């Protein structure tokens, strides 16, 4: 965080300052700001966020031991540390982020990018950050810091030398993206796709589309938005951009896109395509990241980079240095005999289908496809139907072993059985330990194994165990 006095922070938060020890209202703080006491270091600021199962106020002492010098609390705690008492700790975190970013932006060289979409946010964020790091100091979220806590925590990492802030915005309810993006008013926004992920929380895919369009509406008037022309719901957000005099750059595989791809090819070593940018010769792109769906993410990153002044050739060259999209996202593990693809950080109907297609594409004639699948969460009333679709797709893609884990995913198993995988090709196991025991004896040289589920199911840990087993 930039250097601020205790008095300045208290004024921004409209809070009551209680200094301790040698601190005065003029004392300066410039350390990390976080709600996780484990992230504290010398000079840090700990935000004591109440929670459903744990209360941050109980961890102020631990934060102090790790070097925190200031606690933002909703009620004063009996710890030897300066405190600012506020009405709402999460709201205070957002207010502080808004102020810090505004002060850095006033210097004149900070450019802010916001990214949203039902799938691909984290991959695109990492791709764009890799490109922009070569241009100047870039701040981007750790993992998927895209909610009401993670987004402000990321914003608070900027300082006077930061050239680019890349923010990732998720949505758990209507208005959430508008609130988070409104803290910083991005100069450039990216909308990747509208899918069924979290649709249960919105009441359907059309409401999800409205929520994603909030990012375009929050973009600075006269700024730029990068839209997926292959997704009609995203392409329709041009109308929102026009209302705010926002320039639209389209990406995709359609001829209507300004930055597009052709000759897409997926193999076990990565993903290749030709990138076409208006007015330029096509450029080959060789991604180490697995999956044709990542071509769309790469096009979005290249489009945004070009809008920020990075030449296409430079953007492509830097993308080719990216080893993996993110841990637990199409992450290759295992060895040449048994290859594990751990993609179990999250799952939606769209990402599940894309991962299964990738598994089929990268598996040779003498090799065997194995899909280890868990439940997809937050689908609401569509959950049963969407799990049915995944089971049907797995069979139709001729996935040779379908290993379904957990009671929540049983309908996926039943669907696969009904489609024809009834002769031992599909099995249903109660939990990760049972799945690991089964796979330990079942897997053989030549197997290509996909592990995929929503984050809450935790199959990423099963993927890690399999990766270690065959490393």
Q: What angle do CA 358, 225, 188 make, to 5 degrees?
A: 100
Q: Using DSSP, state whether 149 is helix, strand or coil.
A: coil
- Say if strands 270-277 and 188-191 run parallel, antiparallel, or are unpaired: unpaired
In sequence order, what DSSP letters do the residues of 401-455 get, joined into one string? Answer: EEEEESGGGHHHHHHHHHHT-TTTTEEEESSHHHHHHHHHHH--TTEEEEEE--G
In sequence order, what DSSP letters do the residues of 75-126 get, joined into one string? Answer: S--SSSSEEEE-S-HHHHHHHHHHHHHHHHHHHS--EEEEEE-SS-HHHHHH
In sequence order, what DSSP letters do the residues of 238-306 get, joined into one string? Answer: HHHHHHTT-EEEEEESSTT-SEEEEEEEEETTEEEEEEEETTS--EEEEESS--THHHHHHHHHHHHHH
Largest CA distance in the chain: 74
Residue 20: count of CB within 10 angstroms of its CB: 14
Reported as a single tens digit per residue, the pLDDT across 412-450 is 999 999 887 767 789 999 999 999 999 999 999 999 999
pTM here is 0.86
Residues with Cβ < 8 Å from 187, sequence gap 6 or more?
111, 112, 113, 219, 220, 223, 224
- Say if strands 270-277 and 259-267 run parallel, antiparallel, or are unpaired: antiparallel
391 token code pair: 């089971």
Write down the pLDDT at residue 259.
Answer: 97
Q: What angle do CA 443, 444, 448 make, to 5 degrees?
A: 75
16 token code pair: 């009551």
Give the number of residues written for the chain.
Answer: 471
Q: What is the 3-state secondary structure (H, E, C) of 325-389?
A: CECCECEEEECCCCEEEECCCCCCHHHHHHHHHHHHHHCCCCCEEEEEECCCCCCHHHHHHHHHH
Write down the pLDDT at residue 203.
Answer: 61
Write down the pLDDT at residue 62.
Answer: 97
Low-confidence ranges of the chain (pLDDT < 50): none
CB 374 within 8 A of CB 452: yes
φ/ψ region of 161 (left if φ > 0, alpha if ψ in -120 to 50, else beta) reads alpha
Phi then psi for residue 137, to 5 deg, are -60, 125
In sequence order, what DSSP letters do the residues of 173-210 get, joined into one string? Answer: STTHHHHHHHTT--SEEEE----STTGGGTTSHHHHHH
Q: Sketch out the chain's domains with CATH numbers.
A: 4-88 (3.40.1390.10), 109-319 (3.40.1190.10), 331-469 (3.90.190.20)
Q: In b/e form, how buried is each residue of 91-100, taking b as 16+ CB within 10 angstroms? A: ebbbbbbbbb
Measured between alpha carbons, how far is 92 from 87 in angstroms, rounded to an integer? Answer: 8
Write down the pLDDT at residue 68.
Answer: 97
């Amino acid at each position: 965080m930039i250097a601020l006095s205790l008095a300045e922070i208290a004024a921004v938060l409209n809070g009551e300052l209680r200094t301790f020890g040698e601190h005065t209202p003029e004392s300066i703080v410039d350390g990390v700001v976080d709600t996780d006491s484990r992230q504290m270091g010398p000079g840090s600021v700990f935000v004591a966020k109440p929670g459903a199962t744990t209360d941050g106020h109980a961890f102020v002492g631990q934060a102090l031991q790790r070097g925190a010098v200031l606690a933002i609390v909703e009620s004063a705690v009996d710890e030897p540390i300066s405190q600012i008492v506020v009405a709402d700790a999460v709201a205070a975190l957002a207010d502080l982020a808004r102020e810090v970013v505004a002060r850095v932006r006033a210097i004149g060289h900070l450019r802010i990018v916001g990214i949203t979409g039902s799938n691909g946010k984290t991959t695109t964020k990492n791709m764009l950050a890799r490109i922009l790091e070569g241009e100047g100091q870039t701040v981007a979220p750790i993992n998927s810091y895209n909610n009401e806590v993670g987004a402000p925590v990321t914003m608070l990492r900027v300082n006077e030398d930061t050239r680019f802030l890349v923010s990732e915005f998720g949505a758990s309810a209507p208005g959430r993206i508008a609130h988070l993006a409104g803290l910083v008013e991005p100069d450039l926004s990216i909308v990747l796709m509208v899918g069924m992920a979290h649709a249960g929380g919105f009441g359907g895919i059309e409401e999800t589309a409205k929520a994603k369009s909030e990012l375009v509406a929050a973009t600075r008037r006269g700024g730029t938005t990068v839209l997926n022309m292959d997704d009609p719901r995203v392409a329709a957000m041009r109308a929102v951009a026009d209302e705010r005099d926002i320039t639209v750059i389209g990406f995709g595989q359609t001829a209507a896109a300004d930055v597009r791809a052709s000759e897409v090819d997926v193999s076990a070593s990565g993903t290749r395509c030709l990138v076409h940018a208006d007015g330029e010769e096509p450029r080959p792109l060789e991604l180490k990241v697995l999956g044709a769906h990542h071509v769309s993410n790469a096009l979005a990153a290249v489009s945004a980079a070009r809008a920020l002044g990075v030449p296409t050739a430079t953007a492509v060259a830097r993308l080719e240095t990216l080893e993996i999209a993110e841990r637990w996202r199409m992450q290759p593990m295992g060895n040449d005999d048994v290859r594990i693809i751990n993609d179990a950080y999250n799952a939606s109907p769209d990402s599940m289908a894309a991962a299964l297609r990738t598994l089929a594409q990268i598996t040779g004639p003498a090799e065997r496809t194995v899909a280890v699948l868990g439940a997809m969460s937050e689908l609401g009333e569509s959950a049963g139907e969407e799990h049915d679709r995944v089971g049907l797709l797995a069979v139709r893609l001729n996935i040779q072993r379908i290993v379904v884990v957990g009671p929540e995913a049983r309908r996926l198993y039943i669907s696969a059985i009904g489609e024809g995988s009834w002769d031992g090709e599909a099995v249903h196991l109660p939990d990760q330990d049972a799945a690991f025991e089964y796979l330990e004896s079942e897997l053989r040289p030549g197997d290509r194994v996909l592990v995929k589920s929503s984050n809450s199911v935790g199959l990423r840990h099963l993927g890690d165990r399999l990766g270690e087993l065959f490393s």
